[in-house]
Structures are given as C-alpha cells and as structure tokens.
Amino acid sequence: MATSNETPPTRVLLFGLGAIGGFYAFILNRAPNVSLSVVARTNYDVVKEKGLTIESHNHGTHQVFFDAVYRSPSEASHKFDYIVCAHKAVNPSAIPPLFESVTDSKTTFVIMQNGVGNEDPFREKFPQCTIISGVVWVGATQTSSGYIKHMQAENTEVGLFPNDRVPVELESERLDNFAALMRQGGTNISVEENVQLKRWEKVVWNVAWNSITTLTGVDTQAWLSTPEAMEMTRRLMLEVTQVGQRCGVPLKDDLADVLIERILALPGIYSSMYVDAKEGRKLEIDVILGTPLKKAKEFGMDVPTLAALYALLQAMNGRLG
C-alpha cells in the first residue's frame, strides 16, 4: 500500500469473476499501483482461500491473489475509482443496488459485457459518473471453480458513453488512465472514438453465433456447411445491421459478408451462450437480441429472422436457471 509520500493507488473493484472477469482481474492485478478488489459469487470460497488460477495461451500460468475478495460490494468500506462490470448481462436493468455504497462522483464504471444498450441503466442510476463502454474479444472459459483457461484471442475496445454532466477533458482523462492500466497489465486495448460502432459490430457477430450454436448444438463450421444455413445467417446479420444503421450507427452494408468470412477462417467454435445453456444458466438474450428487436419494432422494421430466434431462445431460457 502507498505511504503518505507516495501516489495513492488506483482503487479498482471488479464485479463478476467468471471467465472474462477472471481474465481482466489477472491483467489489472499486474498493473502497478493498483489496489484490486473483486466480487466473486459461485467461486467465492475457492478464490478467497486459494486465489484465482489462470492458464493463458499468451501469458503462461499464474496464481492471482487480490487485496480483497467480497461476496457483495457492500462489504467494501471505501469508494472506488473504477468499477469494472464483467458479470453476465442476463437482466441488464438489474444493476446491483449495492454499488451505491462504493461510488461517488469520482467513480468510473467500465462495462465489459456483451450486447447493446447496457449503458442506459447505469446512466439512469448513476448520472454523475463517467461510463466507459468496452467490447470484449477475449477467448476464455472457467474450466473449474477459480480456474480460468485463456485461449489466444485477446483484444479489448473501449470508449466513452458521454455524460454532459462531466467535463469532456475529465472523462477523457479517466478513459486514458484506464486504458493505461490495461496496457501496463500486458493486454491489447484500443481507445475508440465511436465505441457504439464496435458494440454493434460485435452484437451482429453475437446474434448469429451465440443464437445458432445454442439452439442447434453444433459449431459454426458445421452450421455453415449448407447453402440454407449460409443464407439464413446472412439474412439475420443483415437485419441487425440495418437496425443499427437506423439507430445512427455507421455500420457498413457488407458487414455480414465480412463477419462470415472471418468465422470461416477459424476452426468451428461454440459460444458463451452455448456454454451457459449447457450448464443450465440463464442466457444473455435481452442485450444481444432483445435490444435490436425492440429498436426494430420502434422503427416499424420487419426482422423475421431475428424475431424467430428471439422467441426460440426465450422458450429455452424459460427452462434454464
């Protein structure tokens, strides 16, 4: 801990110590002069006693210990500079109310979740805070409680969700400081002027692969092996792309072709939603499919493929959890 003659540490609270949260906890724990606390749920006992173990393709195998491990943010006795939200966005409107006890006007929320529209509940609940929106391209799974396996994929895109109550210069400083911590921890991160563009590009990707692998139980290569599947996937991606464009996001018309070409260059993969369904956990349907569908309805747009997948996943979600 810093003495009175030293720069005080940057206090970071990471909420959600699953596969993605565990990876970011490992990265932030390596940044200098960071006091990192974590909120763990299902793996609390293991992490509290033995720390978190990460086996990383890019960084090797490490055992990580934290300044504090909580079951709830309310257990903390001080405010945090950054609160990193890496929990599943199963119910995006259900922000843990206990965040109120660890925030003030100097707190910045960093939202590392799938989907679009995630920032709105945070803005409503914490209008005085800066919000950093993050797009995660990290391959990781929690193979057992407290043990994270990180594959090669490792890239994060971040940008501001602007707040007209906070000076632009201060928001930019908070964004740059967080990006610096991530770089000091040794990961790839880019600061994006229009992070919503990146969010919508990722949601077009997730709408397809999360939904299809979950509903069919086959990987992406197996799914795309027929002309009918290829046509359906392209139509689905185009529907979501057009919704994003109507929202004012400058998505390119050929985004579906670009993303299909990208997935075909990879070995067959599944998705985090597929894993959640397989393990009986609730699915991130609303932020991935629900928000684009809601926006389409507001615009009077016909998105039959998206609507059909949403209905099917809702039915599946009804029997999970």
- Which CATH number does 10-193 carry? 3.40.50.720
Q: What is the pLDDT of residue 4?
A: 44
Q: What is the pLDDT of residues 204-250, one digit of tens each?
A: 999 999 999 999 999 999 999 999 999 999 999 999 999 999 999 99
Q: What is the pLDDT of residue 98?
A: 73
Cα torsion 66, 68, 70, 73: sign: negative
- Ramachandran bin of 60, using left for φ above 0, alpha for ψ from -120 to 50, beta for the remaining angles: left
First and final C-alpha spacing in the chain? 41
Q: What is the pLDDT of residue 96?
A: 67
d(CA 224, CA 228): 8
Q: What is the pLDDT of residue 74?
A: 87
Q: What is the pLDDT of residue 3?
A: 41
Domain ranges of the chain: 10-193, 196-318
- Residue whose entry in the numeric block shows the structure tokens 């195998």: 61
Positions in the chain short of pLDDT 50: 1-4
Element (H, E) at 240: helix 227-246
The CA-atom distances, in angstroms, between 151 and each of 51, 138, 140, 148, 267 are: 20, 8, 6, 10, 13
- Ramachandran bin of 248, using left for φ above 0, alpha for ψ from -120 to 50, beta for the remaining angles: left
Tell me the β-bridge partners of 138: 154
- Ramachandran bin of 311, using left for φ above 0, alpha for ψ from -120 to 50, beta for the remaining angles: alpha
Token code pair at residue 180: 């610096």
Q: What is the pLDDT of residue 64?
A: 97
With CA atoms as reference, report the closest residue to 54 among 148, 152, 144.
Answer: 148
Q: What is the pLDDT of residue 5?
A: 52
Look at the domain 196-318 and name its fold.
Answer: N-(1-d-carboxylethyl)-l-norvaline Dehydrogenase; domain 2 (1.10.1040)
Q: What is the pLDDT of residue 154?
A: 96
